[in-house]
Amino acid sequence: MPRKVSDIGEKGLIKRILGKTRKSDFNSIFLDNFSFKSLSDDAALISLGEQYLVVTSDMLLKSTHFPDEMSNDQIGKKVVTVNVSDLAAMGAKPIGIIISMGLPRNMLLDEFEEMIDGILDNCLEYGMNLIGGDTNEAHELTLCGTCLGIVQKENVLMKDGAQPGDIVAVTGSLGLAAAGFEVLFNRSKFKDLNSKYKEHVIKHALNPKARVEEGILLAKSGSVTSATDITDGLVSEIDELINASSFGIGITIYEEKIPISKGALEVASKSNKDPLEFALYYGEDFELLLTVKKDIFEQIKKEIPLYKIGTVTSSGKIEILYKDGTKNTLKPRGYEHLSRK
């Protein structure tokens, strides 16, 4: 039977594209002062003197990215945040976003206006503006953002530099968005959940923020060896850093060090789920995952709140050291578009 795109999933498809682009004479496309660095992730770097212009693009669709619980304002905010988060992971300052829209015919004008307000509010929050876009008719609401940012070349954060001995850290609590969606999708189970926790986790699910300031500060520190944003789950992103590195690295994380907030713990407990699952395998937290030179970590931590969660090894594997002292190897199984699951 002929194979379908869902048989190989997002990562397999991207590998096929990269295989083909490497075959074409990519290196001949260096023009004047404009040289490109194309990445295995969603961003392209354009060389401009001492800076890179970073260009990233992310498409969001109703059926995959916008649950019914999300307001139009939150939908607009999310397309901005998702794109800005890719820039944050590279230490770039956002300067503008273009948004192409596919709109269902029957979308109400009021809904459209709320969505645009959400887009513009978040642009302002991230210190940039909406600089272009187009509108089309679509079966399902589809928003494609293209975000531009700038970063000093010497500071840019990439996925590929982690080395054995580096410390692995994240910028904040993990599993909050997962806990939020758990509450939203099973409201009845959580009637007696403390409203403070409820609001906290739901806010992270419906109105996430990108770690722009942290990304810029980390980039300026000059001691981050690799970085990415956590959109598809911690283990999946760790796998990305391992695959990007040319040093044949592995990463070991420590269960006891993984920051999981009280709210996420409560939600997991009430739904009989493992809070560690929320933290390891669910995405949408938009925290940054990074590796830092060991001897400089404590110094950076004074300026930017960071949680050490593990170390870079030379094992070639993702390993977890549980609280009880046992060790296990983890397989990446974060959210992947078009995978069979």
Residue 256's nearest CA partner among 297, 306, 310, 305 is 310
The least distance separating a copy of itself from the CB of residue 250, rounded to whole angstroms, comes to 27
The least distance separating a copy of itself from the CB of residue 258, rounded to whole angstroms, comes to 27
The amino acid occupying position 323 is K
The least distance separating a copy of itself from the CB of residue 146, rounded to whole angstroms, comes to 4
The total of other beta-carbon atoms located within 10 Å of residue 82's CB is 24
59/312 with CB nearer a copy of itself: 59
61/296 with CB nearer a copy of itself: 61
The least distance separating a copy of itself from the CB of residue 238, rounded to whole angstroms, comes to 19
Cα gap 123→116, rounded to integer Å: 10
Cα gap 6→13, rounded to integer Å: 9
Return left, alpha or beta for 106; rule: phi > 0 is left, psi -120 to 50 is alpha, else beta: alpha
* Beta-bridge partners for 38: 44
Residues in the chain: 341
Report, in angstroms and rounded to the nearest whole number, the Rg of the chain calculated over CA atoms: 20
30/322 with CB nearer a copy of itself: 30
- Is 37 strand, coil or helix? strand
Torsion of CA 37, 40, 41, 42, to 10 degrees: 60
What Cα–Cα distance (Å) separates residue 166 from each residue in 56, 224, 322?
Answer: 27, 9, 20
179/210 with CB nearer a copy of itself: 210
Cα gap 54→237, rounded to integer Å: 20
216/292 with CB nearer a copy of itself: 216
The least distance separating a copy of itself from the CB of residue 187, rounded to whole angstroms, comes to 26
19/325 with CB nearer a copy of itself: 19
The pair phi, psi for residue 75, each rounded to 5°, is: -60, -45
The least distance separating a copy of itself from the CB of residue 94, rounded to whole angstroms, comes to 10
The least distance separating a copy of itself from the CB of residue 78, rounded to whole angstroms, comes to 14
**Measured in Å, how far apart are the chain's first and last C-alpha atoms?**
19
124/329 with CB nearer a copy of itself: 124
199/336 with CB nearer a copy of itself: 336
Cβ atoms of residues 147 and 94 within 8 Å = yes
Q: Which residue has the tokens 């503008």?
A: 96
The least distance separating a copy of itself from the CB of residue 220, rounded to whole angstroms, comes to 15
Q: Which residue has the tokens 């295989």?
A: 19
